Amino acid sequence: MRTARGGERTVGFATGGRLRLLCYMTAWSDWQPLLVSPPFTTTTLAETLDGGQAFRWHRQAEGAWLGIWGDCTARLRVDDGGGPLEWSAPAEIALHVAAALPRYLALDVDYAALMDALPWRSDLQLAACLDAWRGLRLLRQPFGETLLCFLCSATKQIVQIKQMAELLAARFGAPLVERVDLNALDALGLAPRGGDKRVALHRLPTWPELAAAREADLRACALGFRARFISQTAQFLAAHPGWLDATERLPYAAAKERLCLLPGVGEKIADCVLLFGAGRYEAFPVDVWIVKAMAHRYGLGGWTPAQIAHFGRGHFGAGAGLAQQYLFASERAAGRRNLSPNR
DNA sequence: GCACAGGTAGATT
DNA sequence: AATCTACCTGTG
């Protein structure tokens, strides 16, 4: 595999007072097309990677995305001309990433069949959302990481959850490879300032690593009251080896029941973990966006989240979680339009 | 300065 | 069984 040229680069940042930094660039593999590629557009790729399922993808220059999951990091990009998804990874782990990408992108899942099984024929609201976001997919993220990120998510916006994840990774997570991209770090406000100019990409901490951390140090990652939940969950998991892996393998209802035993995990977070981290497509997480969407698209105003979840699983069936993600994307887009009308 | 954000748990009706 | 509140902290 040929690789791009690594080595020192001098880079100017647009923000932060146009300082110039020396950074050591890890050599990245050339862009490779995915052999079996989902039909992403730039919009649906962005919504898939940065629409609230995952919290460690960062937009780079020229529409590429830099992401980290498990012990992998990759860049992804797509042409809007209908070309395949392309990926690139640090040369020293490129083979490993190539082997991990299909699972992360859930390429083994028969999406066409799942989508077709949704009640779009009789549900015009759903049909419109599926059409508007054609190509949007659900990721299959590492189970433990998904749990961690959604424990951070309570009453937080996506940008803030991403910030918590970055702080957790930087403070407690193992370094993956030497420093890669600069735009991403800059966007995070984590661009190196003075001293050692080399910065590594870090994975999220594992649960054993979190169990070894003190709650006070977790709080320093801007977690607020979530730090106690994460700490208590880490202690529980440390006291019950194999519990999380066993939970991931359970059927949906049993797995959800077990996840809800963890401190800080209620129905919504359990459903998110199972949908985005275990491929349980019958999970139907109900957050404020879904409450709004179901109220005005399905006339369910005044319903409780539990009632809406029950309706959603019944109405949408085995792929309810997929329907949820399309409704979620549509509702958030509508919210953005109302905030900034383009005139 | 101040409301508000992809919730949950525990207390109070 | 439903409803109310505290919980932290960055962002607008």
A231 touches strand C (CB under 7 A): no
What is the distance in angstroms measured between the alpha-carbon CA of A229 and the sugar C1' of C8?
A: 12
Q: How far is CA A121 from CA A1, A21, A116, A336, in A?
A: 46, 56, 9, 28
Answer whether any strand B atom is within 7 A of the Cβ of A277. Answer: no
The answer to whether the C-beta of A87 is closer than 7 A to strand B is: no
pLDDT value of position A50: 96
Contacts of residue A128, defined as CB under 8 A and 6 or more positions apart, other chains included, come to A330
Q: Which window residues (295-324, chain A) lie with Cβ within 7 Å of strand B?
A: 324
Q: What is the pLDDT along chain A (343 residues), one digit of tens a residue?
A: 554 444 444 333 333 333 333 345 678 999 999 998 999 999 999 999 999 999 999 999 889 999 999 999 999 999 888 789 999 999 999 999 999 999 999 999 999 999 999 999 999 999 999 999 999 999 999 999 999 999 999 999 999 999 999 999 999 999 997 655 554 455 444 554 443 434 689 999 999 999 999 999 999 999 999 999 999 999 999 999 999 999 999 999 999 999 999 999 999 999 999 999 999 999 999 999 999 999 989 999 889 999 999 999 999 999 999 999 999 999 999 887 766 544 3
Burial class (CB in 10 A: 0-12, 13-18, 19+), A314: exposed
**A225, closest nucleotide (Cα–C1'):** C8
pLDDT (0 to 100) of residue A61: 84
Distance (Å) from CA A331 to C1' B2?
A: 27
Contact between the CB of A225 and strand C at under 7 Å:
yes
